[in-house]
Amino acid sequence: SFKLGQIIGRGAMGEVYEARHVTTGEEAAVKLLLDHVLAQPDHVERFYREAKIVSSLNAANVVKVLAVADRDSSIPYIAMERLHGQDLSDWLRARRRLTLPIVLTMIRQVGHGLEAARTSGIVHRDLKPRNLFLAKFGNAEVWKILDFGVSKLIGEDHTLTRDARVGTPSYMAPEQITGGAVTHRTDIFALGVIAYRSLTGRPAFSGDSESEILYK
């Protein structure tokens, strides 16, 4: 249903293309899995699981899902709203730090998105600057949470990550590192670390190796 354009994002598992709906002309961002990932059933299942989770979150501060491929599709895809703007990682790279009013607005809006996830029993588990996007809608700006690919449903006995340690070291909560119970507070911790980085211009935890960062 979508005509693809240029690649606007790329990760280890897949690529995101700018796109338009072939009938309505509506803009979209379409996420596709890489060829070698398609050959791994667990990764394909996790992809559809992400689509289901994000589709369930009808929140202004979470990226909106427009369409998802059928389970028996030869090309799994997630079509999401096309966002124009910049993610927080690029913001900080260009400016190093943000003003207090901007950070307060970000915390408040991202907090609304995390609250929607909490009430749905979802923990993001990988909140970081790359996954927070300041989207422009005319004269308005809205912070959106992206990428629920390694999220966890509260009450699940296991996950498709095989309960491996997941997350980004500089933003992981202690319970992620020690193998403790992951809850919505895990995401709140990450948001606090993001706020620190945004206000001070430096990471809360740093080191020469991943082990040193996790220890701190």
Whether residue 13 contacts residue 60, with contact meaning beta carbons closer than 8 Å, is answered with: no
Beta carbons within 8 Å of 5's beta carbon, 6+ residues apart:
17, 18, 19, 20
d(CA 115, CA 110): 9
Catalytic (active-site) positions: 126
How big is the CA angle at 102 (ends 135 and 59), to the nearest 5 degrees?
45
The single residue listed with the structure tokens 């990450």 is 190
What's the chain's length in residues? Answer: 216
The single residue listed with the structure tokens 């970081």 is 128
d(CA 129, CA 91): 9
**CA nearest to 64, candidates 133, 155, 6:** 133
Calculate the dihedral angle through the C-alpha atoms of 96, 196, 110, 9, rounding to the nearest 10 degrees.
40
